[in-house]
Amino acid sequence: MENEIEIVNLIDEQEYLEEVSEWLWNEWDKEHGAKLEDAVYRSKHSISKDNIPKMYIAKYKNEAIGVVSIWLNDLKARQDLYPWMATLYVKEEFRNMGIGKMLQHKCIEETRKMNYKNLYLITDHNNYYEKTGWVFLENAPLGDGRYTKIYKYKLK
């Protein structure tokens, strides 16, 4: 199956934009009262060909099965850190098949091509990103009383 998965820039396959936006909305925004159309709007403005922001999707037999983004910032408290890997998501029925690692690798390689030294991410997951070379940097406030973990990936 791994050989049949294609990672493509969402700007080149925008027919998947609303579906991907709905995944992200369900995963991160819905519980905070955001509207689906807000997620679609954000996704429309998070795609580009050559610059950040970018979104990549994993496809299997013309079905979108995962997404990852490169953003200039994903944490208000740390405007000094950039760029960020964000929105790593794989559809439930395709998890534990290495697709998340493939999406991470695409994000890392594309960011490296842009000559950045580091890539960052925030997460509440434990012991997932460490397995793929990310290093815990610190706990940081989200601004609503909660904290998140910042990880760093050295590109150079």
Residue 26 has pLDDT above 80, yes or no: yes
- Residues 115-133 as b/e (b if ≥16 CB within 10 A, e otherwise) read ebeebbbbbeeeeebeeee
**Over residues 22-26, mean pLDDT:** 96
Q: What is the pLDDT, as a whole number, of residue 156?
A: 86
CB 78 within 8 A of CB 72: no
Q: How confident is the model at residue 31 (pLDDT cuts 50, 70, 90)?
A: confident
How is residue 93 written in tokens? 């029925």
Query: Where is pLDDT greater, at 156 or 15?
Result: 15
Residue 29 has pLDDT above 90, yes or no: no
Q: Give tens-digit pLDDT for 44-91.
A: 999 999 899 999 999 999 999 999 999 999 999 999 999 999 999 999
Q: What is the pLDDT, as a whole number, of residue 24?
A: 95
Query: Where is pLDDT greater, at 51 or 31?
Result: 51
The DSSP element (H or E) to which 149 belongs, if any, is strand 147-154
**Alpha-carbon gap, residue 36 to 89, rounded angstroms:** 17
Sheet of strand 63-71, all strands in order from the earlier edge strand to the far edge: 5-9, 54-60, 63-71, 84-90, 118-123, 147-154, 135-141
Q: What is the pLDDT, as a whole number, of residue 84?
A: 98
Residue 133 has pLDDT above 90, yes or no: yes
| pTM for the full predicted model | 0.93
Residue 2 has pLDDT above 80, yes or no: no
Ordered by where they begin, the domains of the chain are 2-154 (3.40.630.30)
Q: Give tens-digit pLDDT for 78-122.
A: 999 999 999 999 999 999 999 999 999 999 999 999 999 999 999
Per the prediction, the chain carries an average pLDDT of 95
Query: Where is pLDDT greater, at 116 or 2?
Result: 116
Burial of 57 (0-12, 13-18, 19+ CB in 10 A): buried
How is residue 85 written in tokens? 């890997």
